[in-house]
Amino acid sequence: MLDLFETPSHYYIVIELCSGGDMYDYLERRDFKVSEKRAWELASQLAGAIFYLHDFNIVHRDLKLENVMMTDDTESSIPKVVDFGLSAMVD
């Protein structure tokens, strides 16, 4: 989330543009084949995101390929975890 605007009747959330689509589409465009190095990078970045959430006692509860957006369609695209509708705070 980049910014939040509020009016008496609406909330406006400004988020980063992720033109690479979701991770499923990103992998599908590559016939579900990525190098071992790239797979390690993606797994490491996702594990880091989950660790960050857990540090704040947040559980996502709906982590799947469709809930990970890619910043672009390049080999250096960064995954972003989205859709916190089922997430929860835990003690």
CA distances (Å), origin 40, targets 14, 27, 37, 91: 30, 14, 5, 31
* CA dihedral over 59, 64, 69, 74, signed as positive or negative: positive
Closest of 37, 23, 33, 32 to residue 67, by C-alpha? 23
Whole-angstrom distance, CA of residue 9 vs CA of residue 11: 7
Active site residue 73: no
Active-site residue, from 62, 72, 73, 83: 62
Question: Known catalytic residues?
Answer: 62
